[in-house]
Structure 1
Amino acid sequence: MEALPRETIVDVLEKRLREDILAGRHPAGSYLPPERELADGFGVTRTTLKHAFGRLVHAGLLETRHGVGTRVRDFLRLGGADLLPMLVRHSPEWIGEIFEVRRSIGALIAERAASHATVAQIAELRHLLAAVKDAEGGEPVQLADVEVHRALARATGNRVYVLLTNTLFNAYLPVRASLAGPFEDPRAAHDRLAPVVEAVATGDQRAAHSAAGDYLSATERIMLEGLARSRGHRGGAR
């Protein structure tokens, strides 16, 4: 068994401040109250507060200026896609927007891969596709499926597509367990993905684009249904 992580005071304070910022209780561009006032309000030391601030500065939510104060950063204007996992953790509503990008980018990746994939890359794709069918279901199939998509991105010959693919998968991490629906049946997961790989292997760009769109739409529907059920169970538990 894996030991459960223990939250420190800094962890709890960081989470509280992060939620306040993302919920708009500290609007973008506003300055936080003075450190002494915040520390007293939370019942923590200023050292603990500074550690929490440091994490939020690193996350792109705060910026500090010596002698001026700590200001909330306008992350929607200045932030990058690396913020997505944190935003999904704050509000799963972000998933719908991520899926919209996933559909458009995924279809473009498959289309470009069909025109750029080398013989070796096609062989790798078929090998990774077979691994989806051979996995045991659930998380192993989900992870095997991810590797096929990483290979499709590599086959485009454009490294930005690889990084975008990684970014989108990282964004799922906070709710990944609720998105496992399309991967419970290894054979079904394989059969949904196979037309994409075969279209890329034959160099048919139009078919690859269409097959990827069908795959992404089908898996999105199943994942959103699973996410809705997960939310319903949590609501019922309350």
Structure 2
Amino acid sequence: METLPRETVVDVLENRLREEILTGRYPAGDYLPTERRLAERYGVNRTTLKHAYGRLLQAGLLETRHGVGTKVRDYLRLGGADLLPMLVRHSPDWTGEIFEVRRSVGALIAERAAARAGRKHHEELRALLAAVRAAEGGDAVQLADIEVHRALARATGNRVYVLLTNTLFHAYLPVRSALVRPFTDPEAAHDRLAPVVEAVVAGERDAARAAAESYLTATERIMLEELA
């Protein structure tokens, strides 16, 4: 029997405050009401409120100024890509924007990988592509597919591409189970991705970019249809 996580009062309060920040009840730049007033409003003690604040501070939605108060942070101006998983959970509208970046960055990575990958990268890519075909079940195929993209990023020799690839996958992690349809058929998933790997291994930059654009566009269409 699977044990499901149980929400604590801190979890509930954190979610409530996050939603109210992201929906604009507490706009960026404004100070939150005093801890005493908020604790009374939500029917919690101040210790619980402080724990929820701590999580939102770590998430980058709040900042505290000693002796002044707790301010809502302008996350669109000051935040980083690490906020994306939280924003996707809040609103699926972010998913389309993530896919737009996925297309452009993914095509660029494939082109760079074709220009820079060495023999070890080629061997790794072939092995990981074979693992896509051998995987069983949509979830396993999806994870195997992701590893090919991580390897493509590593093959560029640019660690920033590696981190960007990780960030994009983490960004749609909250809705990953709803994006599994392109991966339910291992053979089809393999065949969609194979032209990218083949072009990279052959060192054909233009072909790698075109193959990646085709792959990313096709899988994006299927995944967004599933979300809709």
The interval holding the TM-score normalised by the smaller chain is over 0.9
Identity %: 77
Secondary structure of residue in 2 paired with 1:63: strand
1:7 aligned partner: 7
* Residue type of the alignment partner of 2:77: R
Secondary structure of residue in 1 paired with 2:172: helix
User: Residues 14-33 of structure 1: CA distance to partner in whole angstroms, max 9, x if unpaired?
Assistant: 00000000111110000000
1:55 aligned partner: 55
1:65 aligned partner: 65
* Counterpart Cα distance in 2 of 1:103 and 1:137: 25
User: Residues 177-203 of structure 1: CA distance to partner in whole angstroms, max 9, x if unpaired?
Assistant: 110010000000000000000000000
* Counterpart Cα distance in 1 of 2:25 and 2:210: 44
2:140 aligned partner: 140
Q: Which runs of 5+ in 1 are unaligned?
A: 229-238
* Counterpart Cα distance in 1 of 2:88 and 2:203: 36
1:225 aligned partner: 225
* Residue type of the alignment partner of 1:42: Y
RMSD: 0.5
* Counterpart Cα distance in 2 of 1:210 and 1:103: 11
Q: Which runs of 5+ in 2 are unaligned?
A: none
* Residue type of the alignment partner of 2:135: A
* Residue type of the alignment partner of 1:189: A
* Counterpart Cα distance in 2 of 1:137 and 1:50: 43
TM-score of the pair, normalised by structure 2: 0.99
User: Residues 143-195 of structure 1: CA distance to partner in whole angstroms, max 9, x if unpaired?
Assistant: 00000000000000000000000000000111001100100000000000000
1:232 aligned partner: none
* Counterpart Cα distance in 1 of 2:17 and 2:184: 37
Aligned residues: 228
User: Residues 44-70 of structure 1: CA distance to partner in whole angstroms, max 9, x if unpaired?
Assistant: 000100000000000000001121000
2:119 aligned partner: 119
* Residue type of the alignment partner of 2:76: L
* Counterpart Cα distance in 1 of 2:186 and 2:137: 5
* Counterpart Cα distance in 1 of 2:25 and 2:185: 43
TM-score of the pair, normalised by structure 1: 0.95
1:215 aligned partner: 215
